[in-house]
């Protein structure tokens, strides 16, 4: 439990650099594919042993949904939330490699 807590806290602390009012700045771009009203968010260079340690969404109203659950980063579609049609969303993701390197991804999309 302690290693998981340490990883979650460190990803929260190291996950982003705040810029402006309340927008994190992440260095990489996540892929967003929308097909038949399904939204798929993926990381272009995730390897089989990489994990996601932080995953957050923000809608146009500034409401925020986040998770610190650790899950495989190489999956085709990362977990998502229930989106409201026509609403603009931002997503922020922190990936950790087996060596402990953290990479930060961001993406924006409008729900179909």
Which candidate, 50, 52, 54, 55, places its Cα nearest to that of 99? 50
Predicted pLDDT of residue 30: 93
Q: Are 91 and 56 within 8 A, CB to CB?
A: yes
Domains annotated for the chain, with CATH where assigned, are 2-110 (2.60.40.10)
Predicted pLDDT of residue 22: 53
Is 0.85 topped by the overall pTM? Answer: no
Cα radius of gyration rounded to whole Å, the chain: 14
Predicted pLDDT of residue 77: 82
Q: Are 24 and 94 within 8 A, CB to CB?
A: no
Q: Are 42 and 30 within 8 A, CB to CB?
A: yes
The tokens for 101 are 């390197």
- Cα 41 from chain centroid (whole Å): 9
In order along its 112 residues, the chain shows pLDDT tens digits of 444 434 443 344 344 443 444 555 678 999 999 877 778 889 999 999 999 999 888 887 887 888 888 889 988 787 767 788 898 999 999 999 999 999 999 999 998 8
Q: Give the CA count within 13 Å in the CB-facing half-sphere of 56.
A: 20
Predicted pLDDT of residue 1: 47
Predicted pLDDT of residue 25: 62
Instruction: Provide the H-helix boundaries in 1-112.
Output: 2-14
The tokens for 110 are 């409008």
């Amino acid at each position: 439990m302690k290693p998981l807590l340490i990883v979650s806290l460190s990803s929260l602390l190291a996950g982003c650099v705040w810029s402006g009012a309340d927008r994190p700045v992440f260095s990489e771009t996540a892929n967003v594919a929308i097909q038949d009203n399904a939204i798929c968010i993926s990381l272009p260079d995730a390897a089989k042993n990489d994990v996601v340690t932080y995953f957050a969404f923000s809608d146009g109203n500034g409401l925020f949904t986040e998770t610190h659950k650790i899950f495989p980063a190489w999956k085709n579609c990362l977990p998502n939330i229930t989106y409201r049609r026509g609403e603009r969303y931002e997503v922020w993701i922190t990936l950790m490699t087996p060596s402990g390197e953290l990479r930060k991804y961001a993406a924006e999309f409008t729900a179909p």
